[in-house]
Structure 1
């Protein structure tokens, strides 16, 4: 489903802010041609198509999924709708790149990967950080023993957003909360370097209406015994830094989730700065991974396989269980959380 030059025809499902960011990346991707957009209403779809000069717009998602001139769909809707919209596209014969987190829970992720397997189509969670040039280089350094045996990892991602209970970040019915929106970045980083993770403990702080978490801190243990301290916050700015510490030094990555530079500290040596600038805004690299895998006939990416997405969803399920966080279906109103000594 690519032309002779390996170009994929993309459809964009959803017209929110993340869809616009992804379009910036696609514009810098030689293997991408965006042919259509779909939204909940014709007006939204038409405006998005006009903004980006797209040839076609669809006023509903089913029409986009059925478009014969679309090979792969980027699902950019809020978290609770990743599952149904991905199933819609897979069953229509489209490849799918679905925004992270892949779904609301591990059960939904399992259903999505089963549908991809049944349809014979490619499916990947859009964990874009993993494909950035800087993280490729940092991974090489760690694998080559630049800091010795990896013993511990810390990562935080916090933003000071204005509190609005109707905003997606704070609305439980829209999959809100710091953990699912921001915490997936530190979790995915830890999983990549530490292997299969066990959640040792978790604490959280609730929003003023007690509907979602605005801060979550997690202690994890990797398969080899290394420890990870991970945190996320939606009402509190944090440095956004990751540190990988080993037996012979450490690597520090400022703003790791969109990193372009890192500093390598080898014991007994001067610090070494590593720079890997982005070609556009970083989303171009995950789009290129989709094209590479589809051209090779791969159903999943070796760098973020289905098993990894299921692992990450299982971790967030476990962390929510520890913090007493329960998400209702989007058709059922969420209720405030009870008092907890972990607040």
Structure 2
């Protein structure tokens, strides 16, 4: 019989709603507590998704001895504070991406996890969905030869609003940390850390990055071309160029993998499930806890540190600074 874990949600925004809708499909996940700074919002969230308790204080929720795992879904600028607080209460933590605002904060989060001997993982659901795992297996098998180039986009239209989280630098706003992190993640997972980074930006009136174009340069003429922004909509594909063909995946769930070679186009289908894909990361966290791990062997804390250091370097090149963090 699977051991059951009591889950708590810290921050009851839209991303927490998506996660909670997937979490309730897992037999070993108990929807135990939800917390918001607004108790009425927490109560509505708990009622809508079937959580047993609602709290109007994050710390009050963390003081509940029955909480096993905390999913941190607050804005980027609060991830560091909320992760440290949760770990000090000995709660296993899965924190939404971006893990924190910068590498200085991530290093302290990892250090605290080790000091408290308590689990910590960045919530990067895309790494664990079957479609992306199939891409990684194609790369590893070299059935199409060596991977030479990656193209990855994530764009949607979001009209400028200085009050929006997407544009507010005080909340870690900007395309890079919000959605550009996905293309950067894709390149790091498939090509590794680049030798050189080139970045160009279009800034919003608040000084946040509204659109960004990034090139990762590697030895042996390998490249990654990455784009993210709020200025326009886009198909949002990732295309992997090999010596003997290309592989294309969509950012949408349950879309076919398109493999193009000299022999034609082949469609592969992986079962990414009926939800949003977040149950894969939740299930993985509980598997890690079953084994007594304090970090994931798949989404390691070292990878998360490499990722945020890469994002730091990109931000330095485009001169985006977050007040009270950098």
One fold, TM greater than 0.5? yes
Counterpart CA distance in 2 for 1:295 and 1:109 is: 25
Name 2:177's counterpart in structure 1: 180
* Secondary structure, counterpart of 2:324 in structure 1: coil
Q: 1:94: Cα distance to partner?
A: 0.3
CA offsets, 1:294-333, max 9 Å, x none?
1111111122101111111111111111001111028xxx
Matched, 1:277 2:271: yes
Does the 8 Å contact 1:199/1:218 carry over to 2? no
CA contact (8 A) 2:92 2:119 kept: yes
- C-alpha offsets along residues 262-304 of structure 1, whole Å, 9 cap, x if unaligned? 10113x2121111123321100101011011111111111221
The answer to whether structure 1 residue 51 and structure 2 residue 48 are counterparts is: yes
Q: For 2:288, which of 289, 293, 296 is the aligned residue?
A: 293
1:312 paired to 2:324 = no
What's the offset of the Cα at 1:136? 1.1
Partner in structure 1 of residue 90 of structure 2: 93
Instruction: Please show how residues 111-190 of structure 1 align to structure 2 within 5 Å.
Output: 111-190=108-187
- Deviation at residue 194 of structure 1 after TM alignment: 0.6
**More displaced stretch, 168-177 vs 98-107:** 168-177
Pairwise mapping of residues 195-206 of structure 1 onto structure 2 (< 5 A)? 195-206=192-203
The within-5 A match list for 1:180-259 is 180-207=177-204, 209-222=205-218, 226-255=222-251, 258=253
Change in CA separation of 1:259 and 1:182 when aligned onto 2, cut-off 3 Å: farther
RMSD: 1.6
**Structure 1 pair 103/199, CA: closer, same or farther in 2 (3 Å)?**
farther
Give 3-state SS (helix, strand or coil) of 2:32's partner.
strand
2:27 alignment partner in structure 1: 30
Alpha-carbon offset, residue 162 of structure 1:
2.3
1:228 is displaced (CA, Å) by: 0.5
Select between 223-232 and 114-123 the one with higher mean Cα deviation.
223-232
Q: Indicate the SS of the match to 1:271.
A: strand
From 55, 62, 65, give the equivalent of 2:62: 65
TM-score, normalised relative to structure 2: 0.96
Is the 1:73–1:89 Cα contact (8 Å) retained in structure 2?
yes
Q: Is the 8 A contact 2:162 2:206 kept in 1?
A: no
Runs of 4+ in 1 over 4 A off after TM superposition: 222-225
In terms of mean alpha carbon deviation, does 53-62 or 138-147 score higher?
138-147
Kept in 1, the 8 Å contact 2:215–2:224? The answer is yes
Gaps of 5+ in 1: 335-343
SS at 1:129 equivalent: helix
Q: How many residues align?
A: 325
SS in structure 1 of the partner of residue 151 of structure 2: strand
**1:255 to partner: Cα distance:** 2.4
Contact 1:135 1:259 in 2 (8 A): no
Q: Quick check: 2:21–2:49 contact (8 Å CA) kept in 1?
A: no
Structure-2 change in CA distance of 1:222 and 1:26 (3 Å): farther
CA contact (8 A) 1:123 1:299 kept: yes
Tell me if the contact between 1:12 and 1:76 (Cα under 8 Å) persists in the aligned partners.
yes
Tell me the TM-score normalized by structure 1.
Answer: 0.91
For residue 8 of structure 2, give the secondary structure of its aligned residue in structure 1. Answer: strand
